[in-house]
Amino acid sequence: MQSLTNRKKVVGKKEMTWVEKLYLPAIFGGMRITLKHMFSKKTTISYPEQKREFSQIYRGMHVLKRDEKGAERCTACGLCAVACPAEAITMVAAERKKGEENLYREEKYAAVYEINMLRCIFCGDCEDACPKESIFLTDRIVPSDFERNEFVYGKDKLVETLENPIDISKRQTAEVLEFKKNKKLTHNR
């Protein structure tokens, strides 16, 4: 039969020589490879005790940011959900009531905001689509779990806490920061 790759090898049933029957050349050959790897640079690390340095623009678990006064920035416009190619984001919008200005920055906010981390492909399109500087991907890893339901992250896991705000400025390239300064662009208003 014609070969598609020319990588096939015909295996013969050649009689072993008496040297091969001793198996010593094969044993020493194997030991030579083992010794070579013992002294060569390791490519693996002992995770989780050791951790690799991440790229500054690594795209991991999302955060929903608050503004400088601590109010949630998300206005439940749904642009992130529309931009999401994996349809991982869902939300329920609500009207801000009088007296809630310190909680929600805009008149409309997300009463429910969920991301299904099993669907998410960490592409960052939600971050790019957000006009309110609300959603960002971070360098945090989504922890493993045993139940599928546990991977649907709600606001309790996504909104940053007042005590531990998450600094995403290091992940923004100079070009992105420059782009976001331009208030003439609808995206930045």
If you ran DSSP here, which 8-state letter would residue 105 be given? Answer: S
Residue 61 lies near ligand SF4 (rule: CB under 6 A): no
Amino acid (one-letter) located at 14: K
Residues 97-116 that bind ligand SF4 (CB under 6 A): 115
Give the nearer residue to ligand SF4 in terms of CB position, either 126 or 160: 126
Question: Using an 8 Å Cβ cutoff, are 67 and 98 in contact?
Answer: no
Residue 159 lies near ligand SF4 (rule: CB under 6 A): no
* Two tokens, residue 33: 């490879």
Distance from C-alpha of 160 to C-alpha of 153, rounded to nearest angstrom: 13
Residue 110: HSE in the Cβ half-sphere, 13 Å Cα cutoff:
28
Residue 151 lies near ligand SF4 (rule: CB under 6 A): no
Amino acid (one-letter) located at 128: D
Give the nearer residue to ligand SF4 in terms of CB position, either 22 or 185: 185
Minimum CB separation from ligand SF4 for residue 169, in Å?
18
**Binding residue for ligand SF4, selected from 61, 63, 74, 158, defined by CB under 6 A:** 74
**Binding residue for ligand SF4, selected from 130, 153, 158, 160, defined by CB under 6 A:** 130
Only segment of 3-11, 129-137, 149-157, 176-184 that touches ligand SF4 (CB under 6 A)? 129-137
Give the nearer residue to ligand SF4 in terms of CB position, either 34 or 117: 117
Minimum CB separation from ligand SF4 for residue 147, in Å?
20
Question: Using an 8 Å Cβ cutoff, are 135 and 127 in contact?
Answer: yes
Residue 158 lies near ligand SF4 (rule: CB under 6 A): no
Q: Kindly provide the residue ranges of all beta strands, DSSP E only, lying in the chain, ordered along the sequence.
A: 62-64, 89-95, 108-116, 135-137, 152-153
Reduced to 3 states (helix: H, G, I; strand: E, B; else coil), residue 45 is coil
Q: Exposure string (b/e) for 20-33, b if CB count within 10 Å is 16 or more?
A: eeeeeeeeeeeeee
Minimum CB separation from ligand SF4 for residue 135, in Å?
4
Minimum CB separation from ligand SF4 for residue 37, in Å?
38
Interface residue list for ligand SF4 (CB under 6 A): 74-80, 83-86, 88-89, 91, 115, 120-126, 129-130, 132, 134-135
